Amino acid sequence: MQLRSLITLILGLEEGLIHKTRRGESVRSKSEVIIANLLHDMKIDYAYEKELRAPDGSKRYPDFTIEDEETGLNVYIEHLGLLHDPVYRRRWKRKEQWYKDMDVLPDDEGGGEKGVLITTRDDDAGGIDCVEIEKRLKAVLG
């Protein structure tokens, strides 16, 4: 057993959940910390990696789920941090189609009957634009 695996096992940490948000939850990437903290600062209640099931029983775990009980609107946020990796990109394309099949459509298409999907990405230099993400969230959530 590799040392890292042993440490993970001993500490009982879920694999990859190594970054902490302001709310004290563990997430997988620094970009997810930034998004979680932005949601927190905007006073938007969210769940991290909450299970989402399709009618056929298949399931996925969006990075962030926002359920607006007043409007009934569900918003899912996916951070696409590794699109340069062909395997990751292929998995994302399948997941993106799964969302479409569920009628969860991108915010720039007006969303779907079952929800709105907001995707975020790091830029070519590895940076993330909080101002743009906040603008998109406000456009969807009001």
In angstroms, the CA 99 to CA 13 distance is 29
- Tell me the percentage of the chain whose pLDDT exceeds 70: 89
pTM: 0.86
In a domain, 5, yes or no: no
5 or 100, higher pLDDT: 100
In a domain, 1, yes or no: no
Query: What local confidence, expressed as pLDDT, does residue 71 receive?
Result: 85
Query: What local confidence, expressed as pLDDT, does residue 42 receive?
Result: 95
Mean pLDDT computed over 70-85:
91
Query: What distances in angstroms separate CA 104 from CA 6, 19, 52, 96, 101, one per listed residue?
Result: 39, 28, 11, 9, 8
Number of domains in the chain: 1
> What is the residue range of 99's domain?
19-141
In angstroms, the CA 10 to CA 7 distance is 5
In a domain, 12, yes or no: no
In a domain, 93, yes or no: yes
Q: Where are the beta strands (DSSP E) in the chain?
A: 19-20, 26-27, 47-48, 52-53, 59-60, 64-68, 73-80, 104-106, 115-121
Residue 9 has pLDDT above 50, yes or no: no
In a domain, 73, yes or no: yes
